Amino acid sequence: SVRDVPGKRRDGMQLSEVLLFAEVGAPPLVVSGASNPGGASPSNQPASAAVDGDTSTKWFDASIATAGASTLVIELAAAAPLLEYEIFSANDNTKRDPTAWRLERRRADGGWEVMSAVSGVVPPDARRAGYGLMLASAPKQPPPATVTPPDDDVDEDDFWWDDVGGDFSSGAAAE
């Protein structure tokens, strides 16, 4: 699910498409459905329009104006890793374009885990245009270095870096 982090006054949130990719250069993952829990969408602009492969349709959610957030839950047809994703602006009102969001995945226990948080994004000027590919899982930052007496050599244990990705279960949501 892509959750818009509120920061500006708007009358709704909209996207024309969301594409999910397991590998660089691979075709998009097959999606079995999308929903907008607690959302308020016109019948001709449902959550499913964000994953229908057609940027001439759109998902619109008016609930962000009152609830302060909007959630799009995307279900995959089969379990797959998620490497990167791309969202697309809709056809009209630019103030509805998301500029900050969290990408989360559903854990096996049913809870949600943040994979990445994005903010300060400048949406494309063009309508029905992609924001560009984004990594689904931001690398974790290394912990602060520990000060130790100098030993004039560097061990691989001196630094830590963990780059983790996530697998989505069949029927689980990509949030």
Angle (CA) 67-58-87 rounded to 5° is 85
pTM over 0.75: yes
Per-residue pLDDT at 107? 87
Q: Is 50 helix (H, G, I), strand (E, B) or coil?
A: helix
Tell me: the pLDDT tens digits for 135-160? 998 665 554 444 433 344 433 322 32
Task: Return the residue matching tokens 């379990």.
Answer: 79
Distance CA 138, CA 40 (A): 30
Per the structure block, which two tokens stand in for 128? 């029905």
Tell me: the pLDDT tens digits for 119-135? 889 999 999 999 999 99
Distance CA 66, CA 42 (A): 16
Query: What average pLDDT does the structure give for the chain?
Result: 79
Q: Is the pLDDT of residue 37 over 60?
A: yes
3-state secondary structure 120-145: CCCCCCCCCCECCCEECCCCCCCCCC
Q: Is 48 helix (H, G, I), strand (E, B) or coil?
A: helix
- Kindly indicate the confidence band of residue 100, based on its pLDDT and cuts at 50, 70 and 90: confident
Residue with more model confidence, 75 or 158: 75
- Kindly indicate the confidence band of residue 7, based on its pLDDT and cuts at 50, 70 and 90: low
